[in-house]
Amino acid sequence: MNELREKAKELLLNNTVKLIIGYANGNGHNRTYPFIARNAADANRLVFNEYCVNNLAVYLTRKEFKGKGIIGIVAKGCDVKAIIQLIQENQINKDEVYIIGMNCNGAVNQLDNSFEKTTLAQKCINCTVRTPALYHALIGTTKDIEEPADTLGEKIKEVEKLNADSRWDFWEAQFEKCIKCYACRQVCPLCYCEQCIVDKTVPRWIESSAHTRGNFSWNIIRAFHLSGRCIGCGECERVCPMDIPLSMLNRKMSIIAKKEFDYSAGVSLDSPTLVGTYNMKDRQDFIK
Amino acid sequence: MSEEKFQPKIVAFVCNWCTYTGADLAGTSRLKYQPNVRLIRLPCTGRIDPVFIIKAFEKGADGVLVSGCHPGDCHYNLGNLHARRRFILFSELMNYVGIDSSRLHFSWVSASEGKKWVDVINEVIDTVREVGPFKKYQKINKEFVLHE
């Protein structure tokens, strides 16, 4: 932690960065919240531990920060994937971000209101980027961690095994719960559109009331708009107050992208994006 | 009286340059096909946002057909190639959330393929007729109207 604070102080004092987006201790020892350090005194409040589950890359495309000088960011491997994806989509300038990469030993989900019981976050299971793929400074060390089995893949396979009607029933039961709070959109580092399609009123493509019909189109379109872009940070599912298994949609889309196009999001800085390009050899056996 | 056959509602999103003209050719050639389809003309398959397809189901369609130019024939050169990639992703997603692939069809029909258009549209209508009305979606549509 001291290493992080020293580095942050150094960066702020010699004006390498304008500010640093990081984590600070929240209420109690095991809660953290996003924190913006603007001077050396602030830098002393930065922390990094297993409770730093948030993906801070979401702030990089905010008007307050974008194009306002070099922004420092404390980022885990998965957050860096989001940053790479944002650079690939030309949303942020590669030279305007200073990544303080953190060697990560897994983040945890808090299970109850006392915030005492924890479990390793779903996104950390089978993680391949515990050391970030891109960084300007690297802090900390990785150590072996105990990983529970990956249940998400199993859940997806179970749904795939059902027939179409049962799949519909499964998702109807899930989407029925949606209250259209759009927390999934707000927390997503890649949902950066200034006007989201769901906010459009003329014409209104997606019903805005929290009814199953509009919920269906919203959740499908959200998953579709993130296909080949979702880096799997799992923030949408974490913030969902109704516990809709959004990761099951997002993971499925990345499985399809991998299978059909051998494409993974958040890997390459300069290759074309998945739906921003085409290939003459794309599959078309489903087209009459 | 014999039992009336189920008449599915099919919405076809077609591109202006190939399939729409192909359908026009079918008409001027006096080729007959089943009348269950509503054509919606768009400039290009690349213009077809998947949200259109969902909207069609919301408005009571039992099946959707998307049709455009053959690869390489696009009036805008690349529109259908981009669309193809999107449809691969979208049709898999629709299948995953329980919208059977027999309700969502894609085809390439060029301006000279009036006959192919007739075959494709008949085949789509027959397939959708076989799976029956889209009761699942109509249920939430109906609930929505009550809810409003």
Question: CB–CB of A248/A159 below 8 Å?
Answer: yes
Instruction: Give A170's contacts in chain B (Cβ within 8 Å).
Output: 98
Sign of the dihedral defined by the CA atoms of residues A114, A126, A60, A222, in that order:
negative
What is the phi/psi pair of residue B65, to 5°? -120, 135
A271: how many CB neighbours lie within 10 A of its CB? 11
The residue type at A146 = E
- Structural domains present in chain B: 10-147 (3.40.50)
Measure in Å the smallest separation between the Cα of B4 and chain A Cα atoms: 25
User: What does DSSP say about strands A71-75 and A19-25: parallel, antiparallel, or unpaired?
Assistant: parallel
Share the mean pLDDT of chain A.
89
- Each domain of chain A, given as residue ranges in start order, spans 2-139, 151-261
pLDDT, one tens digit per residue, over A183-231 is: 999 999 999 998 899 988 888 899 888 888 889 999 999 999 999 899 9
pLDDT, one tens digit per residue, over B120-144 is: 999 999 999 999 888 888 888 888 7
Q: What angle do CA A28, A55, A261 make, to 5 degrees?
A: 150
> B48 in helix, strand or coil?
coil
CB distance B123–A288 less than 8 Å? yes
pLDDT, one tens digit per residue, over A146-185 is: 888 888 888 999 999 999 889 999 999 999 999 999 999 9
CB distance A211–B143 less than 8 Å? yes
Per-residue 3-state assignment (H helix, E strand, C coil) for chain A: CHHHHHHHHHHHHCCCCCEEEEEEECCCCCCEEEEEECCHHHHCCEECCCCCCCCHHHHHHCCCCCCCCCEEEEECHHHHHHHHHHHHCCCCCHHHEEEEEECCCCCEEECCCCCCCEEECHHHCCCCCCCCCCCCEEECCCCCCCCCCCHHHHHHHHHHHCCHHHHHHHHHHHHHCCCCCCHHHHHCCCCCCCCCHHHCCCCCCCCCCCCHHHHHHHHHHHHHHCCCCCCCCCHHHHHCCCCCCHHHHHHHHHHHHHHHHCCCCCCCCCCCCCCCCCCCCCCCCCEC
User: What does DSSP say about strands A137-139 and A97-102: parallel, antiparallel, or unpaired?
Assistant: parallel
Nearest residue in chain A measured CA to CA from B50: A221
Residue B137: its H or E element: helix B135-147
pLDDT, one tens digit per residue, over A20-39 is: 999 998 877 778 899 999 98
> B41 in helix, strand or coil?
strand
Q: Is A95 left (phi over 0), alpha (psi -120 to 50) or beta?
A: alpha
Question: CB–CB of B109/A235 below 8 Å?
Answer: no
Instruction: Give B88's contacts in chain A (Cβ within 8 Å).
Output: 256, 260, 282-283, 286
CB distance B107–A288 less than 8 Å? yes
Burial status of residue A143 (CB atoms within 10 A of its CB: 0-12, 13-18, 19 or more) = exposed
CA distance A16 to A13: 8
CB distance B96–A160 less than 8 Å? yes
Residue in A81, A75, A77, A43 with CA at minimum distance from that of residue A56: A75
Residues of B with CB under 8 A from a CB of A: 49-51, 54-55, 58, 71, 78, 81-82, 84-101, 105-108, 120, 123, 136, 140-141, 143-144, 147-148
pLDDT of residue B2 exceeding 60, the answer is: no
CB distance B89–A253 less than 8 Å? yes
**Whether the complex's predicted ipTM surpasses the cut of 0.95:** no
CB distance A274–B50 less than 8 Å? no
Nearest residue in chain B measured CA to CA from A158: B96
CA distance A262 to A283: 12
CB distance B93–A227 less than 8 Å? yes
What is the phi/psi pair of residue B64, to 5°? -130, 140
CB distance A212–B143 less than 8 Å? yes
Share the mean pLDDT of chain B.
90
pLDDT of residue A108 exceeding 90, the answer is: no
Instruction: Give A166's contacts in chain B (Cβ within 8 Å).
Output: 98
CB distance A213–B81 less than 8 Å? no
Question: Which of B51, B78, B86 shows the shortest C-beta gap to A275?
Answer: B86
Per-residue pLDDT, B17: 93
pLDDT, one tens digit per residue, over A229-254 is: 999 888 999 899 998 999 999 999 99
Q: What is the DSSP string of B94-129?
A: HHHTT--GGGEEEEE--TT-HHHHHHHHHHHHHHHH
CB distance B93–A253 less than 8 Å? yes
CA distances A194 to A185, A198, A199, B125, B146, Å, are 12, 11, 10, 40, 33
Residue in A21, A210, A212, A216 with CA at minimum distance from that of residue A99: A21
CB distance B71–A280 less than 8 Å? yes
pLDDT of residue B1 exceeding 60, the answer is: no
Question: Which of B55, B96, B141 shows the shortest C-beta gap to A205?
Answer: B55
Instruction: Give A286's contacts in chain B (Cβ within 8 Å).
Output: 87-88, 91, 101, 106
Residue in A122, A21, A84 with CA at minimum distance from that of residue A231: A84
CB distance A224–B89 less than 8 Å? yes
CA distance A246 to A252: 10
Q: What angle do CA A158, A164, A170 make, to 5 degrees?
A: 55
Residue B14: its H or E element: strand B10-15
**Mutating which of A230, A244, A284, A285 best tests the B interface, going by the most B Cβ atoms within 10 A?**
A284
CB distance A211–B147 less than 8 Å? yes
**Mutating which of B62, B96, B130 best tests the A interface, going by the most A Cβ atoms within 10 A?**
B96
pTM: predicted TM-score of the whole model, two decimal places:
0.90
Per-residue pLDDT, A113: 61
Question: CB–CB of B116/B22 below 8 Å?
Answer: yes
Nearest residue in chain A measured CA to CA from B81: A278
A73: how many CB neighbours lie within 10 A of its CB? 23
Q: Could you tell me the pLDDT band of residue A66, with boundaries at 50, 70 and 90?
A: confident
What is the phi/psi pair of residue A36, to 5°? -105, 115
Measure in Å the smallest separation between the Cα of A286 and chain B Cα atoms: 7
